Chains A and B, each alone.
Chain A
Amino acid sequence: MSYYFTILSPTDTPVFNIAFGTSKSGGDGIARFRFPDTAQYMNQFIIHSSLDIVEEAQWTNGAMYLKHVDTYPPAAAYISAFLTPSGVRFLLLHQPPQLSNSGGSSGFGASSILGSSSNLARGSTSSIAANPTSPQTEEAVRQFMTEVYENYVKTAMSPFYKQGAEIRSPVFRTRVTAAGKKWL
């Protein structure tokens, strides 16, 4: 599973970006997205386009953690979102690894997008790496988001941080990485 985590200001400007891979089940923590190296901008496109859904979901969902809000089927990218009181949004794009039988994944593996949501679970069902919509994954992402949120609040309270500016703090970055390692 590969992750792309973004913090967006209320005006959609990115405050913080990080890409990392899973550390669970023998992962090395390096992101391997399905896009070719020349098309890494797709992550940002997908994140940006999911704001449509986030804007809709934030009025219908009472929680700060909006859970899995959006999917980009062609690349099997899933977006989870988290809202903060100041209108800052945490968006996590997660993408399960390319299945070994690529023919299967391009064929009916994608039918989980509509209706039956249990199709992608045929890999190792329990690990969160294989199934982005399972309750386990939701819970793990929630834990991750909460931890990042705590760190974000501390960072935002720093007297040297200007509201809405990019977060350059290396401490924050290492803490997000640690949270990712811990939960995802």
Chain B
Amino acid sequence: MSKLSLTQAINAGLRKAMEDDPKVVLLGEDIGTLGGVFRVTDGLMKDFGSHRVIDTPLAESAIIGTAVGLAYRGFRPVCEIQFDGFIYPGFDQIVSQVAKLHMRTHGQVRMPLTIRVPFGGGIGSPEHHSESPEAYFVHTSGLRVISPSSPQDAYTMLRQAIASDDPVLYFEPKRRYHTKGEVDLAAPLSAAPEMGSARVVCAGTDVTLVAYGPLVKTAMDAASAAADEGISIEVIDLRSLSPLDYPTLIESVRRTGRLVIAHEAGKTMGLGAEITATVTERCFNYLESAPVRVTGFDIPYPPSKLEKHHLPDLDRILDGVDRALGRTNSQTGMED
């Protein structure tokens, strides 16, 4: 086991994938000489060469579109989009090409791209550097979407993403980049949990609290705080946003009867909406109360001095837990 930060774990995952498969190539802005603006690719150009760690001109559509061409040629490209808010110029290539080519060619052309996206807020950045665009991609069939919350998952899930013959959007919780954790670098992928599986990270009996990426830690903190008050929260780390692991969610909600979902992205049509709808459809008779969503607001990402209001924190999550439990909460008395 090695103690690694989340960025070091991703770096180790990239390195391992490149060692294992000479067809793995990296493309992105500033990923080579600089090692990435977050240093995730630090040292890789030196060790693997500029033909495999490619500093590209500044054009996101081209980063994705040329990766499509490389995939046609048999390469396994890993693209870095420097920040969440910079992905939109590449959106068309992702949605119209990457996601659809396998079906368009009746399975004859595979698009084993991994698209790494540092996402989420909480780092005091200017506009376009703190967004949570994951729902767009979850809504797009043909893509897999995952988000690790710990260094071990960051390492393992990145390797799984690169090994996957489907295209994978890999959302990195950038405010947790410096979180350290034990990582087993030697464990074979075959022993790892499936890339599409969720994980119960804290067992509980009263409420199911669902989070992913940066908010898993916040959810865990909320569970600890609630435990002090005698409330038992089961925290589920989704890990995979497409597909969603409904069996794990449903099993939990049928036990607890209550569901709270937290994410930084806005509420309307966010992951919470989809999870609420499906869990309600499939657990209606088990629910003791309506599912609760604790999310960012439906606003453009605010100036960083305001982000503490926008981002769900421990107290807002606990307020949502109170709502699910029918305890007095901030919305008590509010008419629907």
Is A bound to B?
no
